[in-house]
Each structure stands twice: as C-alpha cells, then as structure tokens.
Structure 1
C-alpha cells in the first residue's frame, strides 16, 4: 500500500463522514464541492473534509482508492458513497439523511 493510499485509508476509516473535495468547507474551489458541502451542512451532520488541491498524491490517490474519476468524493462509515450528483440524488430521496444518521 502506497503512502498516499495508507493516508487515505486512515482518513476514510477514522471518520464517520469524510468528504474529499477541492478547497475547504469555508471556501470550496468548485461548484460540485460547494454543492456537496451545502448538502452536508443542510443535514447538520458532523463531517471532515480533505482539500485535494493541497496534496497532489491525495488528489490522484483518491481516484485510484475509490476507482472513481471525479472529486468530490463522499465516504460514510468507511464506505464510498459517490460524488456530488449521487449525493444530490440520495439527499432528495432521503437516503443520504438515513445513511449519515442526520436529524435534519
């Protein structure tokens, strides 16, 4: 396991909800990351973020880790959920609220 892969694995398994994104929760650097943050904030769930723009190894490594080509990427309880489009579909259906255990 590469160093980046090990770091990603530790982040995914060490946080109930983690979003790999471009930018930060306070300053998203793309529309998809901004939408993902808006969804999580609306649900009122506690989450961690990882700014892939700050670390090229993580930026490339997360795509290989999940076998998913785009960012943002959401993980809940160690499992890959998807990107912002999947998050939006799951949010609209109520499935994401249930998955993250939100009270919203």
Structure 2
C-alpha cells in the first residue's frame, strides 16, 4: 500500500471516533453487508463517518492490508479495529456493541 493511502486511512480513523469503511455511503450502501452494518449504527443513533471504498481502488485494497482483514465493511471505534458485518451484528445482538460505545464514552441511543 502506498504512503498516501496509509495516511488517508490513519487520518480518518484518528479524527472520527466511529469510522466505517464501506461500499457506498450510509445513505446509499452498495452492498448488503455495508447496509446491515451502517443500519446497526443508525439504529443505535451513533454519530459515525462512512467512507466509500468504491471511490478509490487504492483505499479499497489498502484498508484490507491496514487491518489485515479481508472483507469490507470494517468498523473502527476510537482507532480500534472492531471487525466486519458478522462481528458487528453479533456484538449488537449480544449488547456488546452498546457496552463498547459506553466504555469508550461514545453517545448512542439510550445513553448520552
């Protein structure tokens, strides 16, 4: 991965408490997994930044190298890689995702 792509990824993760690298945008997801993940964040009313990897092939490949995770979407919370759609879904259903936001002082539905 080139330095510019690495810097772009680091920058987005550092300046956004909740950052979702996804296919499409939160308002117009381009794949079911990205839609499911962004919908979970919307249900929790978490303020998050969606980054469309389809706009930049270097970013699309670079994020997989950065996280050492082969699929998109990828969720980062306070610079920590959380996982992809299945992990986020499991964490949401078990209540772990809400606990994570609470522990990291991120406001969400039911907790401000």
TM-score range, shorter chain: over 0.9
What count of residue pairs does the alignment treat as equivalent? 104
| Structure 2 residue 7 is matched with structure 1 residue 6 | yes
Name the counterpart of 1:76.
77
Per the alignment, in what secondary structure is the counterpart of residue 5 of structure 1?
helix
| 1:2 Cα offset (Å) | 1.1
Please, what TM-score do these two structures have when normalized by structure 1?
Answer: 0.96
Cα offset, 1:18, TM superposition: 0.4
Q: 1:19-38 counterparts in 2 under 5 A?
A: 19-38=20-39
Q: For residues 13 and 42 of structure 2, what CA distance do their matches in structure 1 show?
A: 19
Q: TM-score, normalised by structure 2?
A: 0.89
Q: Which deviations, in whole Å up to 9, do the C-alpha atoms of 1:28-61 show, x marking residues without a partner?
A: 0000000001100010110001000001111011
Match of 2:109 in 1: 103
- Listed as ranges, the gaps of 5+ residues in structure 1 are none
Query: Matched residues in 1 for 2:70 and 2:14: separation?
Result: 21
How many Å apart are 1:103 and its aligned residue?
3.2
Contact kept, 8 Å, 1:17 with 1:100, in 2: the verdict is no
Name the CA distance, whole Å, in 2 between partners of 1:41 and 1:61.
Answer: 26
> Matched residues in 1 for 2:49 and 2:100: separation?
16
Query: Equivalents in 1 of 2:19, 2:39: separation in Å?
Result: 14
